[in-house]
Amino acid sequence: MSTGCRDCSTCTKPGLVRVFEKWMVGLLYLLTVGIAYIIKRGMRSHCPQCNHLLARHARRRDGSFAD
């Protein structure tokens, strides 16, 4: 069973560097999700009663809400 090669840059990195790289990937993921959440909540209109997006509510032809 091979535990790693001796020549590639990934296997020759110190363990702390590999842990830091994985931590950075996780941080980047959290930042992406956080920014998407802020855009969704901050930029789009939500119903004050149920907090659903206003675009999902049924409307009549005159623009008033059907429900």
Collapse the DSSP code of 50 into the 3-class scheme (helix H, G, I; strand E, B; otherwise coil) and give the result: coil
Is-above-0.85 flag for pTM? no
Residue 1 in this model has a pLDDT that exceeds 50: no
Token readout for 67 is 């429900």
Q: What is the rounded CA–CA span in Å between residue 44 and residue 19?
A: 38
Residue 17 in this model has a pLDDT that exceeds 50: yes
Say how many residues make up the chain. 67
pLDDT at 46: 81
Q: How many CA atoms lie within 13 A of 19 on its CB side?
A: 3
Q: What is the pLDDT of residues 24-65, one digit of tens each?
A: 988 999 999 999 988 877 888 888 888 888 888 888 888 777
